[in-house]
Amino acid sequence: MHDINIVPYVDVMLVLLVIFMVTAPLVTPGVIDLPSVAKSSNAPLAPLEVVIRQNRTMLLRVRDAHGALAEERPVGRAELARVIRERQGKNLDRPVLIAADKDVRYEAVLNVMDELQKQQVRRVGLLVQPAR
């Protein structure tokens, strides 16, 4: 006899199926007790944006709490940290995002990041456009 007999395999599979069908309702799913928090009294501040253009000129963009552009002004590298400190005011954790044109040299972005870190600006990040 040279044929494969699959009847024992089908029997085993049916027995396993019955076992899983009987035990599945008995297993209780884990209940997660999530913590609750109160609503924040003050809205988070929008980050400050430093825009570096291809010709290495810089702009400082300030947005309001709703994300609308409130102010946009050109700044030089020498005055950048001072202007950011003034805008941060008492909130030193207000983030600063660097938005550079994709053709700007990496060195220019690093120089701006380095200058901000030397002036003890705590939260510095890079603004990117998500791929489509």
Q: Can you give the pLDDT at residue 21? A: 93
Per DSSP, 27 falls in state S
Which of the listed ranges 4-8, 64-68, 107-111 does the model predict with the highest average pLDDT?
Answer: 107-111
63 pLDDT tier (thresholds 50, 70, 90): confident
Domain ranges in the chain are: 48-126
Question: What class is the 48-126 domain?
Answer: alpha beta
Mean pLDDT within 9-27: 91
82-102 pLDDT, tens digit each: 888 888 877 778 888 898 888
- Point out the least confidently predicted range of 8-12, 43-47, 110-114: 43-47
